[in-house]
Amino acid sequence: MRSFPGRGIALRAWRTVGVAWAKAVAPLRRADIALFHEFLPPPNGGGHQFLRALMREFASRGWRAENNTVSGTTRVCLINSFNFEADRLRALRRRGCRVVHRVDGPLAAYRGFDDGTDRRIWELNREFADATILQSRYSLAQHESMGLPYPNAAVIMNAADPLIFSPAPREPLEGRRVRLVSTSWSDNRNKGADIYAWLDEHLDWTRFEYTFIGRLPLSPRHIRVEPPADSTRVAELLNQADVFITASRNDPCSNSLIEALTCGLPALYLNSGGHPELVGQGGFAFEHAEDIPSLLDRLLADYAAIASRVTAPRIADVADAYLRVMGLPAKPGAEDSPRG
């Protein structure tokens, strides 16, 4: 799509007007927590869904939330990765308003190339952040190995929206094919297309059926591909399945995996990124695609016991942890919780 001449100037002017208006009405507005993040309409990545669920959890407790602005009473700004307007934050931030930075990545490991975004996030952190949240111990260690340390960062995993994702009764396994499922909104090759291609070629399709929800950069013969869907549809398909498989590499805290675990699905996962931290005893890790058939046999032989060990982060617990980092009590007016 071609841009019209002067588009950049017009955009900057529009943003300047928006900031001026936000400053003018700030004394008239009342909020406690400001989230600086540019949301995309669904269906979209899990990060957007997690932040929506987190802000709704804050609101359910009585905290007044706002997006991309700062009112006269805002106590904390939560800024997300690099997905916010830094100039807008610079203009609107008030003295005494604590800034907590939710850091993603490292994106260079996740995407498979380094375009400087991780260093940009690190520099934004040094400029703005009073406190930092990373999503896994893997992410913290990987940033340190890249020379981008986040000292004293809190590690808080994401959580799925409990209004959408929850376990449902499953059909007995006897007398039917086992239902496998994977999800991914990105067609990045690091999402594991090579492994899904191997499975499509080598699984015993008299025993298994497989649904992939999202974008898959190949045309499988046996795996059924469903296009990106809204969360309600994803939850429905997860609850129809028996086993979740994820082959993504260097994924710091996979929201797709969290959604599956929240629906009670045991998982087979590539031994990479934050996957082991999430799955725990609720599944098995694989190193190569060739490991998966035998791991499926092992999982199915003890399915009920393994499924009973599936756990997932809860949005209420995650919100508690965020509020501690923010320096806020669990609810407005409550005594401050102990800070760790």
For 133-183, the pLDDT digits (tens) are 999 999 999 999 999 999 999 999 999 999 999 999 999 999 999 999 999
pLDDT at residue number 337: 44
Judged on CB neighbours under 10 Å (0-12, 13-18, 19+), 2 is exposed
Evaluate whether 337 touches 329 at the Cβ level (below 8 Å): yes
Q: Which phi and psi (to 5°) does residue 181 adopt?
A: -150, 145
High-pLDDT (> 90) share of the chain, %: 74
Compute the mean pLDDT over every residue in the chain, rounded to the nearest whole number.
89
- Of residues 310, 314, 338, the one with CA closest to residue 325: 338
Greater model confidence, 311 or 215: 311
Burial tier of 171 (Cβ tally within 10 Å: 0-12, 13-18, 19+): exposed
pTM, two decimal places: 0.88
Give the tens place of pLDDT for each residue, 3-41.
555 555 554 554 554 555 455 455 546 789 999 999 877
Poorest-pLDDT segment among 5-14, 81-90, 279-288: 5-14
DSSP H or E run through 123: helix 117-128
CATH class, range 178-308: alpha beta
Q: Using the predicted structure, report yes or no on whether residue 123 has a pLDDT greater than 60.
A: yes
Q: Do domains 13-159+315-326 and 178-308 have the same CATH topology?
A: yes
Q: Which two tokens stand for residue 48?
A: 């957007």
The answer to whether the CB of 165 falls within 8 A of the CB of 183 is: no
pLDDT at site 335 = 56
Q: Which has more pLDDT, 115 or 309?
A: 309
pLDDT exceeds 90 at position 336: no
Going by pLDDT thresholds of 50, 70 and 90, the confidence category of residue 340 is very low
pLDDT score of 112: 79
Please state, in angstroms and rounded to a whole number, the distance separating the CA atoms of residues 148 and 135.
15
What are the extents of the domains in the chain?
A: 13-159+315-326, 178-308
Q: Which two tokens stand for residue 298?
A: 């092992």
Q: What is the pLDDT of residue 14?
A: 43
Unique residue bearing structure tokens 């006897």:
174
Name the residue type at position 84: F
pLDDT higher than 50, residue 220: yes
Fold held by 13-159+315-326? Rossmann fold (3.40.50)
